[in-house]
Amino acid sequence: MATMKLEIVTAEGTVYSGEVDSIVAPGDSGELGILPNHAPLLTSLKSGNLQVTNNGNREIITIGGGFLEMLANTVTVLADSAELT
Protein backbone atom coordinates (compact mmCIF):
# COMPACT_ATOMS: atom_id res chain seq x y z
CA MET A 1 0.00 0.00 0.00
CA ALA A 2 1.17 3.47 -0.80
CA THR A 3 2.44 5.63 2.02
CA MET A 4 3.42 9.25 2.34
CA LYS A 5 5.99 11.05 4.41
CA LEU A 6 4.78 13.07 7.36
CA GLU A 7 6.82 15.64 9.17
CA ILE A 8 5.50 17.69 12.06
CA VAL A 9 7.74 20.63 12.85
CA THR A 10 7.45 23.29 15.52
CA ALA A 11 9.80 26.15 16.21
CA GLU A 12 11.24 24.08 19.05
CA GLY A 13 12.01 21.04 16.95
CA THR A 14 10.68 18.15 14.90
CA VAL A 15 7.92 16.33 16.76
CA TYR A 16 7.11 13.58 14.30
CA SER A 17 8.77 12.24 11.21
CA GLY A 18 7.95 9.06 9.33
CA GLU A 19 5.95 7.18 6.70
CA VAL A 20 2.20 7.06 7.28
CA ASP A 21 -0.92 5.65 5.57
CA SER A 22 -3.39 8.41 6.28
CA ILE A 23 -3.88 11.64 8.18
CA VAL A 24 -6.92 13.39 9.56
CA ALA A 25 -6.13 17.01 10.34
CA PRO A 26 -8.17 19.75 12.06
CA GLY A 27 -8.42 22.18 9.14
CA ASP A 28 -9.64 25.73 9.67
CA SER A 29 -12.83 24.94 7.77
CA GLY A 30 -13.36 21.46 9.14
CA GLU A 31 -11.73 18.08 9.56
CA LEU A 32 -9.63 17.09 6.63
CA GLY A 33 -8.54 13.61 5.58
CA ILE A 34 -5.41 13.12 3.52
CA LEU A 35 -4.34 9.94 1.76
CA PRO A 36 -1.09 9.24 -0.11
CA ASN A 37 -0.63 10.97 -3.47
CA HIS A 38 -3.05 13.73 -2.60
CA ALA A 39 -2.97 16.78 -4.87
CA PRO A 40 -0.79 19.70 -3.68
CA LEU A 41 -2.58 21.36 -0.79
CA LEU A 42 -1.91 24.15 1.62
CA THR A 43 -4.25 24.74 4.50
CA SER A 44 -4.30 26.47 7.83
CA LEU A 45 -5.05 24.36 10.87
CA LYS A 46 -6.84 25.22 14.06
CA SER A 47 -5.91 23.69 17.37
CA GLY A 48 -7.08 20.13 17.80
CA ASN A 49 -6.08 16.53 17.33
CA LEU A 50 -4.21 15.31 14.32
CA GLN A 51 -4.87 11.66 13.70
CA VAL A 52 -2.20 9.57 12.03
CA THR A 53 -2.73 5.99 10.83
CA ASN A 54 0.28 3.86 10.20
CA ASN A 55 -0.07 0.09 9.53
CA GLY A 56 -3.38 0.07 11.35
CA ASN A 57 -1.94 1.84 14.40
CA ARG A 58 -3.58 5.10 15.25
CA GLU A 59 -1.62 7.90 16.81
CA ILE A 60 -2.99 11.19 18.03
CA ILE A 61 -0.91 14.33 18.00
CA THR A 62 -2.35 17.40 19.63
CA ILE A 63 -1.44 20.56 17.80
CA GLY A 64 -2.10 24.19 18.58
CA GLY A 65 -2.83 25.69 15.20
CA GLY A 66 -0.52 26.01 12.23
CA PHE A 67 -0.28 24.97 8.60
CA LEU A 68 -0.31 21.80 6.60
CA GLU A 69 1.35 21.48 3.26
CA MET A 70 1.05 18.50 0.96
CA LEU A 71 3.57 18.51 -1.84
CA ALA A 72 5.16 15.65 -3.77
CA ASN A 73 3.68 13.03 -1.41
CA THR A 74 5.24 14.75 1.58
CA VAL A 75 3.08 16.28 4.26
CA THR A 76 4.70 19.04 6.28
CA VAL A 77 2.83 20.30 9.30
CA LEU A 78 4.14 23.55 10.73
CA ALA A 79 2.54 23.73 14.13
CA ASP A 80 2.65 26.47 16.75
CA SER A 81 2.90 23.68 19.26
CA ALA A 82 2.60 19.91 19.00
CA GLU A 83 2.61 17.03 21.40
CA LEU A 84 2.34 13.29 20.94
CA THR A 85 -0.42 11.87 23.10
Partner 1 sequence: MPSLRQIRSRIRSVQNTEKITRAMQMVASVKMRRAQLAAMASRSYTEKLSTMLSNLVSMSDGDLDETNPLLEVRNEENVTLIHITPDRGLCGALPGNLNRQANDFLRQSQETKEISVVTVGRKGNDYLSRITKKLDGFFTGLGDRPNLTDINPIAELVVDAFIQGSTDAVYIGYAEFVNTVNQTPVLKRLLPIEPAEISTQESGGFIYEPGPMEVIDALLPRYVGAKIYQGIRESIASEESARMVAMRNATDNANELAKDLKLQANKIRQASITAELLDIISGTLSIEG
- Regarding 85 and contact with partner 1 (CB under 8 A), the answer is no
Name the β-bridge partners of 80.
none
DSSP per position, 23-73: EEEEETTEEEEE-TTPPPEEEEEEEEEEEEEETTEEEEEEEEEEEEEEETT
Residue of 1, 40, 56, 85 interacting with partner 1 (CB under 8 A): 40
Mask of contacts with partner 1, 8-37, x by CB under 8 A?
-xxxxxx------------xxx--x-----
| Contacts to partner 1 by CB under 8 A | 9-14, 27-29, 32, 39-44, 66-67, 69, 71-72, 76, 78, 80-81
